[in-house]
Chains A and B, each alone.
Chain A
Protein backbone atom coordinates (compact mmCIF):
# COMPACT_ATOMS: atom_id res chain seq x y z
CA UNK A 1 0.00 0.00 0.00
CA UNK A 2 1.66 3.31 -1.07
CA UNK A 3 2.35 5.51 1.97
CA UNK A 4 -0.11 8.39 1.25
CA UNK A 5 -2.92 5.87 1.01
CA UNK A 6 -1.76 4.39 4.30
CA UNK A 7 -1.31 7.56 6.36
CA UNK A 8 -4.56 9.07 5.12
CA UNK A 9 -6.40 6.29 6.95
CA UNK A 10 -4.42 6.59 10.22
CA UNK A 11 -7.18 8.40 12.18
CA UNK A 12 -9.45 5.42 11.49
CA UNK A 13 -6.85 2.65 11.79
CA UNK A 14 -5.17 4.01 14.94
CA UNK A 15 -8.01 5.74 16.76
CA UNK A 16 -11.26 4.44 15.20
CA UNK A 17 -12.32 7.98 14.32
CA UNK A 18 -15.80 8.19 12.86
CA UNK A 19 -18.27 10.92 11.95
CA UNK A 20 -21.77 11.51 13.26
CA UNK A 21 -24.41 13.16 11.09
CA UNK A 22 -25.77 16.29 12.77
CA UNK A 23 -29.16 15.71 11.08
CA UNK A 24 -30.02 12.03 11.63
CA UNK A 25 -27.37 11.07 14.20
CA UNK A 26 -26.05 8.08 12.25
CA UNK A 27 -22.39 7.29 12.92
CA UNK A 28 -20.31 6.53 9.81
CA UNK A 29 -17.06 4.60 9.90
CA UNK A 30 -15.05 5.51 7.94
CA UNK A 31 -16.30 9.12 7.80
CA UNK A 32 -18.30 10.08 4.72
CA UNK A 33 -18.74 13.35 2.83
CA UNK A 34 -22.49 12.87 2.50
CA UNK A 35 -24.75 10.90 4.85
CA UNK A 36 -27.32 8.34 3.66
CA UNK A 37 -29.99 10.86 4.77
CA UNK A 38 -28.57 13.47 2.36
CA UNK A 39 -27.08 15.78 4.99
CA UNK A 40 -23.47 16.97 4.74
CA UNK A 41 -22.70 18.22 8.25
CA UNK A 42 -20.93 15.87 10.62
CA UNK A 43 -19.22 16.05 13.99
CA UNK A 44 -16.19 13.95 14.83
CA UNK A 45 -16.72 10.97 17.09
CA UNK A 46 -15.23 7.53 17.72
CA UNK A 47 -16.36 3.97 17.35
CA UNK A 48 -17.14 2.47 20.78
CA UNK A 49 -14.26 0.45 22.16
CA UNK A 50 -16.41 -2.59 22.81
CA UNK A 51 -18.93 -4.50 20.74
CA UNK A 52 -20.59 -7.81 19.89
CA UNK A 53 -19.81 -10.48 17.26
CA UNK A 54 -22.47 -10.50 14.51
CA UNK A 55 -20.82 -13.23 12.42
CA UNK A 56 -17.40 -14.87 12.24
CA UNK A 57 -15.16 -17.19 10.26
CA UNK A 58 -11.63 -18.58 10.26
CA UNK A 59 -9.56 -17.85 7.14
CA UNK A 60 -7.45 -20.88 6.22
CA UNK A 61 -6.54 -19.93 2.63
CA UNK A 62 -5.11 -16.41 2.82
CA UNK A 63 -3.80 -13.81 0.34
CA UNK A 64 0.01 -13.79 0.04
CA UNK A 65 0.45 -10.93 2.53
CA UNK A 66 -1.45 -12.84 5.24
CA UNK A 67 -0.26 -16.40 4.56
CA UNK A 68 2.14 -16.29 7.51
CA UNK A 69 -0.80 -15.60 9.88
CA UNK A 70 -3.22 -18.28 8.62
CA UNK A 71 -5.37 -19.64 10.09
CA UNK A 72 -6.78 -16.43 11.56
CA UNK A 73 -10.24 -15.40 12.75
CA UNK A 74 -12.32 -12.68 11.12
CA UNK A 75 -15.56 -11.30 12.53
CA UNK A 76 -18.08 -8.61 11.80
CA UNK A 77 -18.44 -6.75 15.08
CA UNK A 78 -21.23 -4.36 15.98
CA UNK A 79 -19.73 -1.71 18.23
CA UNK A 80 -21.86 -0.50 21.12
CA UNK A 81 -22.73 2.71 19.21
CA UNK A 82 -24.09 0.70 16.28
CA UNK A 83 -21.12 0.85 13.89
CA UNK A 84 -20.28 -2.44 12.20
CA UNK A 85 -16.65 -3.28 11.49
CA UNK A 86 -14.81 -6.19 9.90
CA UNK A 87 -11.88 -7.15 12.07
CA UNK A 88 -9.58 -9.98 13.05
CA UNK A 89 -10.33 -11.51 16.44
CA UNK A 90 -7.04 -12.56 18.02
CA UNK A 91 -5.61 -14.24 21.11
CA UNK A 92 -8.27 -16.96 20.99
CA UNK A 93 -8.97 -20.26 19.24
CA UNK A 94 -11.57 -20.50 16.44
CA UNK A 95 -13.84 -22.61 18.63
CA UNK A 96 -14.02 -19.86 21.28
CA UNK A 97 -15.91 -17.57 18.87
CA UNK A 98 -19.70 -17.35 18.79
CA UNK A 99 -22.35 -14.95 17.56
CA UNK A 100 -23.27 -12.62 20.44
CA UNK A 101 -19.90 -12.79 22.25
CA UNK A 102 -18.46 -9.51 23.54
CA UNK A 103 -15.17 -8.14 22.21
CA UNK A 104 -13.04 -5.03 22.64
CA UNK A 105 -10.89 -3.32 20.02
CA UNK A 106 -7.10 -3.28 20.46
CA UNK A 107 -4.23 -1.63 18.57
CA UNK A 108 -2.05 -4.19 16.77
CA UNK A 109 0.30 -4.81 13.89
CA UNK A 110 -1.71 -6.11 10.93
CA UNK A 111 0.88 -7.19 8.41
CA UNK A 112 4.21 -6.37 6.78
CA UNK A 113 3.95 -5.10 3.28
CA UNK A 114 6.19 -5.56 0.26
CA UNK A 115 9.86 -6.47 0.05
CA UNK A 116 10.89 -3.73 2.52
CA UNK A 117 8.44 -5.01 5.11
CA UNK A 118 6.64 -1.75 5.90
CA UNK A 119 4.64 -2.48 9.04
CA UNK A 120 0.93 -1.73 8.72
CA UNK A 121 -0.83 -1.12 12.03
CA UNK A 122 -4.52 -0.98 12.86
CA UNK A 123 -7.34 -2.34 14.99
CA UNK A 124 -8.09 -5.92 15.88
CA UNK A 125 -10.47 -7.33 18.47
CA UNK A 126 -10.04 -9.63 21.48
CA UNK A 127 -12.69 -11.46 23.48
CA UNK A 128 -13.66 -9.88 26.82
Chain B
Protein backbone atom coordinates (compact mmCIF):
# COMPACT_ATOMS: atom_id res chain seq x y z
CA UNK B 1 0.00 0.00 0.00
CA UNK B 2 1.14 3.55 -0.72
CA UNK B 3 1.22 6.15 2.04
CA UNK B 4 -1.69 8.60 1.74
CA UNK B 5 -1.99 12.29 2.69
CA UNK B 6 -4.80 14.82 2.89
CA UNK B 7 -3.81 17.62 0.49
CA UNK B 8 -6.96 19.71 0.57
CA UNK B 9 -9.98 20.42 2.77
CA UNK B 10 -13.11 22.51 2.37
CA UNK B 11 -16.50 22.84 4.00
CA UNK B 12 -19.59 25.02 4.04
CA UNK B 13 -20.92 26.76 7.09
CA UNK B 14 -23.25 24.35 8.91
CA UNK B 15 -26.80 25.46 9.71
CA UNK B 16 -30.15 26.18 8.11
CA UNK B 17 -29.00 26.99 4.58
CA UNK B 18 -32.40 27.83 3.10
CA UNK B 19 -31.10 29.50 -0.06
CA UNK B 20 -28.83 26.63 -1.09
CA UNK B 21 -29.70 23.18 -2.48
CA UNK B 22 -28.14 19.77 -1.76
CA UNK B 23 -26.00 20.00 -4.89
CA UNK B 24 -25.03 23.64 -4.22
CA UNK B 25 -23.59 22.92 -0.80
CA UNK B 26 -21.66 19.85 -1.95
CA UNK B 27 -20.11 21.68 -4.89
CA UNK B 28 -19.25 24.66 -2.65
CA UNK B 29 -17.33 22.39 -0.25
CA UNK B 30 -15.73 20.40 -3.09
CA UNK B 31 -14.50 23.54 -4.87
CA UNK B 32 -13.07 24.85 -1.60
CA UNK B 33 -11.16 21.57 -1.11
CA UNK B 34 -9.95 21.54 -4.73
CA UNK B 35 -8.76 25.15 -4.43
CA UNK B 36 -7.04 24.34 -1.12
CA UNK B 37 -5.21 21.38 -2.70
CA UNK B 38 -4.44 23.35 -5.88
CA UNK B 39 -5.12 20.29 -8.05
CA UNK B 40 -6.53 20.65 -11.55
CA UNK B 41 -8.29 17.30 -11.76
CA UNK B 42 -9.64 14.52 -9.61
CA UNK B 43 -9.62 10.85 -10.57
CA UNK B 44 -12.58 9.60 -8.59
CA UNK B 45 -15.04 10.58 -5.89
CA UNK B 46 -16.90 9.10 -2.91
CA UNK B 47 -19.87 11.01 -1.48
CA UNK B 48 -21.01 10.14 2.03
CA UNK B 49 -24.69 10.80 2.66
CA UNK B 50 -27.14 9.06 4.94
CA UNK B 51 -30.50 9.50 3.30
CA UNK B 52 -30.86 12.24 0.67
CA UNK B 53 -33.78 10.16 -0.61
CA UNK B 54 -35.80 10.77 2.55
CA UNK B 55 -34.54 14.31 3.18
CA UNK B 56 -34.96 15.77 -0.31
CA UNK B 57 -36.19 12.89 -2.51
CA UNK B 58 -32.87 12.56 -4.32
CA UNK B 59 -30.84 9.36 -4.65
CA UNK B 60 -27.98 8.61 -7.08
CA UNK B 61 -26.01 11.56 -5.81
CA UNK B 62 -22.57 10.24 -6.79
CA UNK B 63 -23.36 10.94 -10.43
CA UNK B 64 -25.29 14.13 -9.58
CA UNK B 65 -22.36 15.65 -7.73
CA UNK B 66 -19.82 14.62 -10.37
CA UNK B 67 -22.05 16.29 -12.97
CA UNK B 68 -22.43 19.56 -11.04
CA UNK B 69 -18.76 19.59 -10.11
CA UNK B 70 -17.99 19.75 -13.83
CA UNK B 71 -16.41 16.30 -13.84
CA UNK B 72 -19.23 14.20 -15.33
CA UNK B 73 -17.11 11.24 -16.47
CA UNK B 74 -15.22 10.29 -13.32
CA UNK B 75 -16.17 7.25 -11.21
CA UNK B 76 -18.36 8.50 -8.37
CA UNK B 77 -20.57 6.76 -5.85
CA UNK B 78 -22.46 7.43 -2.68
CA UNK B 79 -21.34 5.69 0.52
CA UNK B 80 -23.89 5.04 3.24
CA UNK B 81 -23.43 3.98 6.86
CA UNK B 82 -25.99 6.22 8.56
CA UNK B 83 -24.25 9.03 10.49
CA UNK B 84 -20.79 7.66 9.67
CA UNK B 85 -21.36 7.78 5.91
CA UNK B 86 -18.75 10.54 5.63
CA UNK B 87 -16.11 8.65 7.59
CA UNK B 88 -16.75 5.50 5.55
CA UNK B 89 -16.47 7.52 2.30
CA UNK B 90 -13.09 8.73 3.55
CA UNK B 91 -12.03 5.14 4.20
CA UNK B 92 -13.11 4.05 0.71
CA UNK B 93 -11.14 6.89 -0.87
CA UNK B 94 -8.13 6.12 1.33
CA UNK B 95 -7.98 2.55 0.05
CA UNK B 96 -8.35 3.66 -3.58
CA UNK B 97 -5.32 5.94 -3.27
CA UNK B 98 -3.36 3.50 -1.08
CA UNK B 99 -3.92 0.68 -3.58
CA UNK B 100 -2.20 2.66 -6.31
CA UNK B 101 -5.27 2.66 -8.54
CA UNK B 102 -5.94 6.41 -8.47
CA UNK B 103 -3.75 9.38 -7.51
CA UNK B 104 -6.19 12.13 -6.58
CA UNK B 105 -9.50 11.19 -4.93
CA UNK B 106 -12.16 13.52 -3.58
CA UNK B 107 -13.97 12.25 -0.49
CA UNK B 108 -16.95 14.24 0.67
CA UNK B 109 -20.06 14.23 2.77
CA UNK B 110 -23.32 16.11 2.48
CA UNK B 111 -26.78 16.26 4.03
CA UNK B 112 -29.68 18.66 3.52
CA UNK B 113 -31.97 18.07 6.50
CA UNK B 114 -33.97 21.31 6.61
CA UNK B 115 -36.05 20.96 3.44
CA UNK B 116 -39.25 19.83 5.14
CA UNK B 117 -38.84 16.08 5.75
CA UNK B 118 -39.91 14.32 8.98
CA UNK B 119 -36.34 14.44 10.33
CA UNK B 120 -37.01 12.35 13.45
CA UNK B 121 -38.38 9.54 11.26
CA UNK B 122 -35.64 9.83 8.63
CA UNK B 123 -32.90 9.57 11.26
CA UNK B 124 -34.69 6.69 12.98
CA UNK B 125 -34.28 4.58 9.82
CA UNK B 126 -30.69 4.06 11.04
CA UNK B 127 -32.13 1.98 13.91
CA UNK B 128 -33.87 -1.42 13.56
CA UNK B 129 -37.00 -0.45 11.65
CA UNK B 130 -39.01 -3.57 12.61
CA UNK B 131 -38.00 -3.98 16.26
CA UNK B 132 -37.04 -0.53 17.55
CA UNK B 133 -38.66 2.13 15.38
CA UNK B 134 -41.94 0.21 15.11
CA UNK B 135 -42.32 0.69 18.87
CA UNK B 136 -41.85 4.46 18.61
CA UNK B 137 -38.16 4.73 19.44
CA UNK B 138 -36.24 7.84 18.32
CA UNK B 139 -32.49 8.48 18.30
CA UNK B 140 -32.59 10.76 21.32
CA UNK B 141 -34.56 7.90 22.91
CA UNK B 142 -31.88 5.30 22.15
CA UNK B 143 -29.11 7.51 23.58
CA UNK B 144 -31.32 8.26 26.58
CA UNK B 145 -31.47 4.48 27.19
CA UNK B 146 -27.65 4.40 27.04
CA UNK B 147 -27.47 7.42 29.37
CA UNK B 148 -29.73 5.85 32.00
CA UNK B 149 -27.73 2.60 31.86
CA UNK B 150 -24.43 4.53 32.22
CA UNK B 151 -25.81 6.56 35.14
CA UNK B 152 -27.00 3.34 36.80
CA UNK B 153 -23.76 1.41 36.26
CA UNK B 154 -21.15 4.12 36.94
CA UNK B 155 -22.92 6.91 38.81
CA UNK B 156 -22.57 9.30 35.87
CA UNK B 157 -24.54 12.48 36.60
CA UNK B 158 -26.66 14.79 34.48
CA UNK B 159 -24.20 17.58 35.33
CA UNK B 160 -21.32 15.53 33.90
CA UNK B 161 -23.27 14.96 30.69
CA UNK B 162 -24.15 18.67 30.53
CA UNK B 163 -20.42 19.44 30.79
CA UNK B 164 -19.99 17.90 27.31
CA UNK B 165 -22.44 20.41 25.82
CA UNK B 166 -20.92 23.34 27.73
CA UNK B 167 -17.41 22.48 26.50
CA UNK B 168 -18.44 21.87 22.91
CA UNK B 169 -20.46 25.09 22.74
CA UNK B 170 -17.44 26.98 24.07
CA UNK B 171 -15.26 25.51 21.31
CA UNK B 172 -17.98 26.14 18.73
CA UNK B 173 -18.19 29.79 19.81
CA UNK B 174 -14.66 30.11 18.36
CA UNK B 175 -15.64 28.51 15.03
CA UNK B 176 -17.27 30.76 12.42
CA UNK B 177 -18.59 27.71 10.54
CA UNK B 178 -20.58 26.46 13.56
CA UNK B 179 -24.37 26.40 13.45
CA UNK B 180 -24.69 27.53 17.09
CA UNK B 181 -21.49 29.48 17.86
CA UNK B 182 -22.49 30.51 21.36
CA UNK B 183 -21.78 29.54 24.95
CA UNK B 184 -24.25 27.67 27.15
CA UNK B 185 -24.17 27.02 30.90
CA UNK B 186 -24.75 23.80 32.83
CA UNK B 187 -28.01 25.29 34.19
CA UNK B 188 -29.25 26.12 30.69
CA UNK B 189 -28.49 22.57 29.53
CA UNK B 190 -30.23 20.94 32.51
CA UNK B 191 -33.28 23.22 32.30
CA UNK B 192 -33.77 23.02 28.53
CA UNK B 193 -36.80 21.19 27.11
CA UNK B 194 -36.66 17.42 27.64
CA UNK B 195 -36.44 15.50 24.36
CA UNK B 196 -36.09 11.97 25.77
CA UNK B 197 -35.57 11.75 29.52
CA UNK B 198 -32.95 12.48 30.84
CA UNK B 199 -31.60 14.18 27.68
CA UNK B 200 -32.58 17.79 27.02
CA UNK B 201 -32.53 19.71 23.76
CA UNK B 202 -29.10 21.15 24.64
CA UNK B 203 -27.70 17.61 24.86
CA UNK B 204 -28.82 16.72 21.32
CA UNK B 205 -26.99 17.65 18.14
CA UNK B 206 -29.08 19.93 15.90
CA UNK B 207 -30.74 19.38 12.52
CA UNK B 208 -28.33 20.84 9.97
CA UNK B 209 -27.53 21.41 6.32
CA UNK B 210 -23.92 21.26 5.27
CA UNK B 211 -21.16 19.65 3.27
CA UNK B 212 -17.46 18.94 3.74
CA UNK B 213 -14.80 17.58 1.38
CA UNK B 214 -11.19 16.44 1.49
CA UNK B 215 -8.72 15.58 -1.26
CA UNK B 216 -6.52 12.51 -0.85
CA UNK B 217 -3.28 11.84 -2.73
CA UNK B 218 -0.19 9.66 -2.38
CA UNK B 219 2.56 11.03 -0.15
CA UNK B 220 4.83 11.67 -3.16
CA UNK B 221 2.34 14.19 -4.58
CA UNK B 222 1.67 15.77 -1.18
CA UNK B 223 5.36 16.46 -0.65
CA UNK B 224 5.52 18.56 -3.83
CA UNK B 225 2.92 20.99 -2.47
CA UNK B 226 3.62 24.01 -0.29
CA UNK B 227 1.23 23.03 2.53
CA UNK B 228 2.30 21.05 5.65
CA UNK B 229 1.96 17.35 4.85
CA UNK B 230 -0.78 15.63 6.84
CA UNK B 231 -0.54 11.84 6.52
CA UNK B 232 -3.33 9.34 7.12
CA UNK B 233 -1.49 6.74 9.18
CA UNK B 234 -4.35 4.58 10.37
CA UNK B 235 -7.88 3.56 9.44
CA UNK B 236 -10.17 1.25 11.40
CA UNK B 237 -13.83 0.35 11.08
CA UNK B 238 -16.14 -2.04 12.90
CA UNK B 239 -19.80 -2.90 13.39
CA UNK B 240 -22.07 -3.95 16.24
CA UNK B 241 -25.70 -5.12 16.49
CA UNK B 242 -28.05 -2.67 14.78
CA UNK B 243 -30.54 -2.88 17.65
CA UNK B 244 -29.28 -1.38 20.90
CA UNK B 245 -31.22 -3.94 22.96
CA UNK B 246 -29.26 -6.84 21.44
CA UNK B 247 -25.99 -5.78 23.10
CA UNK B 248 -24.75 -7.46 26.25
CA UNK B 249 -23.86 -4.12 27.84
CA UNK B 250 -25.76 -0.98 26.83
CA UNK B 251 -22.91 1.29 28.00
CA UNK B 252 -20.27 -0.33 25.77
CA UNK B 253 -19.88 0.97 22.21
CA UNK B 254 -18.05 -2.10 20.95
CA UNK B 255 -17.75 -0.89 17.34
CA UNK B 256 -16.03 2.29 18.57
CA UNK B 257 -13.57 0.30 20.68
CA UNK B 258 -12.75 -2.16 17.88
CA UNK B 259 -12.44 0.50 15.17
CA UNK B 260 -10.10 2.51 17.41
CA UNK B 261 -7.96 -0.53 18.26
CA UNK B 262 -7.67 -1.37 14.57
CA UNK B 263 -6.71 2.20 13.61
CA UNK B 264 -4.22 2.55 16.50
CA UNK B 265 -2.60 -0.75 15.51
CA UNK B 266 -2.20 0.25 11.87
CA UNK B 267 -0.82 3.65 12.90
CA UNK B 268 1.46 2.20 15.57
CA UNK B 269 0.20 4.66 18.18
CA UNK B 270 -1.31 4.47 21.68
CA UNK B 271 -4.16 6.61 23.06
CA UNK B 272 -1.54 8.58 25.06
CA UNK B 273 0.18 9.60 21.79
CA UNK B 274 -2.93 11.42 20.56
CA UNK B 275 -2.81 15.24 20.68
CA UNK B 276 -6.49 15.86 19.94
CA UNK B 277 -9.65 14.07 18.80
CA UNK B 278 -12.83 14.87 16.93
CA UNK B 279 -15.49 12.42 18.13
CA UNK B 280 -19.13 11.70 17.38
CA UNK B 281 -20.97 13.63 20.12
CA UNK B 282 -24.43 13.25 18.56
CA UNK B 283 -25.71 13.31 22.17
CA UNK B 284 -23.89 14.34 25.36
CA UNK B 285 -23.69 10.75 26.65
CA UNK B 286 -22.14 9.60 23.37
CA UNK B 287 -18.98 11.66 23.95
CA UNK B 288 -18.66 10.26 27.48
CA UNK B 289 -18.87 6.68 26.18
CA UNK B 290 -16.53 7.41 23.25
CA UNK B 291 -13.68 8.92 25.29
CA UNK B 292 -13.80 5.69 27.29
CA UNK B 293 -13.78 3.43 24.22
CA UNK B 294 -10.94 5.42 22.62
CA UNK B 295 -8.83 4.66 25.68
CA UNK B 296 -8.45 8.24 26.95
CA UNK B 297 -9.89 7.24 30.32
CA UNK B 298 -10.93 3.97 31.92
CA UNK B 299 -14.43 2.57 31.43
CA UNK B 300 -17.05 4.36 33.52
CA UNK B 301 -14.91 7.45 34.23
CA UNK B 302 -15.85 9.48 31.14
CA UNK B 303 -18.25 11.67 33.11
CA UNK B 304 -15.81 12.96 35.78
CA UNK B 305 -13.02 13.12 33.15
CA UNK B 306 -15.13 15.56 31.12
CA UNK B 307 -16.38 17.55 34.11
CA UNK B 308 -12.80 18.03 35.36
CA UNK B 309 -11.84 19.67 32.07
CA UNK B 310 -9.46 17.03 30.72
CA UNK B 311 -11.15 17.16 27.29
CA UNK B 312 -11.26 20.99 27.10
CA UNK B 313 -9.19 23.02 24.60
CA UNK B 314 -6.40 23.36 27.17
CA UNK B 315 -6.96 19.92 28.74
CA UNK B 316 -4.97 16.68 28.66
CA UNK B 317 -6.65 15.54 25.46
CA UNK B 318 -8.74 18.21 23.71
CA UNK B 319 -11.90 16.63 22.29
CA UNK B 320 -14.11 18.27 19.66
CA UNK B 321 -12.13 21.48 19.27
CA UNK B 322 -14.45 22.35 16.35
CA UNK B 323 -17.48 22.50 18.65
CA UNK B 324 -18.39 18.92 17.80
CA UNK B 325 -21.70 17.83 16.40
CA UNK B 326 -23.45 19.66 19.23
CA UNK B 327 -22.37 23.22 18.45
CA UNK B 328 -20.89 23.02 14.96
CA UNK B 329 -23.95 21.14 13.67
CA UNK B 330 -24.59 17.61 12.40
CA UNK B 331 -25.55 17.33 8.73
CA UNK B 332 -25.25 13.59 9.18
CA UNK B 333 -23.43 12.52 6.01
CA UNK B 334 -21.04 15.50 6.17
CA UNK B 335 -19.98 15.04 9.78
CA UNK B 336 -17.21 12.47 9.27
CA UNK B 337 -15.46 14.64 6.70
CA UNK B 338 -15.97 17.85 8.72
CA UNK B 339 -14.10 16.10 11.55
CA UNK B 340 -11.22 15.45 9.16
CA UNK B 341 -11.24 19.14 8.13
CA UNK B 342 -10.84 20.17 11.78
CA UNK B 343 -8.03 17.71 12.49
CA UNK B 344 -6.15 18.77 9.33
CA UNK B 345 -6.58 22.47 10.20
CA UNK B 346 -5.30 21.84 13.72
CA UNK B 347 -2.29 19.82 12.51
CA UNK B 348 -1.49 22.54 9.99
CA UNK B 349 -1.57 25.06 12.85
CA UNK B 350 -4.32 26.99 11.09
CA UNK B 351 -7.20 26.65 13.57
CA UNK B 352 -7.05 30.26 14.79
CA UNK B 353 -8.63 30.87 18.20
CA UNK B 354 -9.28 27.12 18.56
CA UNK B 355 -5.67 26.16 17.90
CA UNK B 356 -4.28 23.44 20.18
CA UNK B 357 -0.61 23.93 21.03
CA UNK B 358 1.68 22.09 18.60
CA UNK B 359 -0.38 18.96 17.90
CA UNK B 360 1.37 15.99 16.28
CA UNK B 361 -1.30 13.30 16.02
CA UNK B 362 -5.06 13.75 15.68
CA UNK B 363 -7.87 11.25 15.37
CA UNK B 364 -11.37 11.45 13.90
CA UNK B 365 -14.05 9.05 15.16
CA UNK B 366 -17.37 8.91 13.31
CA UNK B 367 -20.27 6.66 14.30
CA UNK B 368 -23.54 5.42 12.79
CA UNK B 369 -26.85 4.79 14.53
CA UNK B 370 -26.70 3.93 18.21
CA UNK B 371 -23.11 2.76 17.63
CA UNK B 372 -23.76 -0.05 15.12
CA UNK B 373 -20.96 1.23 12.89
CA UNK B 374 -17.87 3.25 13.68
CA UNK B 375 -14.81 4.40 11.76
CA UNK B 376 -11.62 5.92 13.15
CA UNK B 377 -8.80 7.64 11.25
CA UNK B 378 -5.42 8.64 12.61
CA UNK B 379 -3.58 11.65 11.14
CA UNK B 380 0.02 12.71 11.63
CA UNK B 381 1.84 15.87 10.71
CA UNK B 382 4.89 14.86 8.62
Contacts and interface: CB of A to CB of B under 8 A. Distances in A.
Interface residues of A, number: 35
Interface of B: 118, 120-121, 124, 130-138, 140-141, 144-146, 148-149, 152, 193-199, 243-246, 250
A59 to B, nearest CB: 5
Contacts of A110: 134-136
Contacts of B197: 57-58, 60, 94
A55 interface: yes
Given A9-B130, A30-B130, A59 B250 contact: no
B118 A74 contact: no
B320 to A, nearest CB: 24
B152 A64 contact: no
A85 interface: yes
B131 A86 contact: yes
12 contacts: A30-B131, A55-B148, A58-B194, A60-B195, A61-B138, A61-B196, A63-B138, A72-B136, A74-B196, A76-B245, A86-B135, A99-B152
Interface in A59-74: 59-66, 69, 72, 74
B359 to A, nearest CB: 37
A88 interface: yes
A86 B243 contact: yes
A66 B131 CA distance: 15
Interface string A90-128: 000010000100000000001100000000101010000
A122 B195 contact: no
A74 B141 contact: yes
A94 B197 CA distance: 9
Contacts of B145: 55-57, 74-76
Contact of A86 (B118, B137, B198): B137
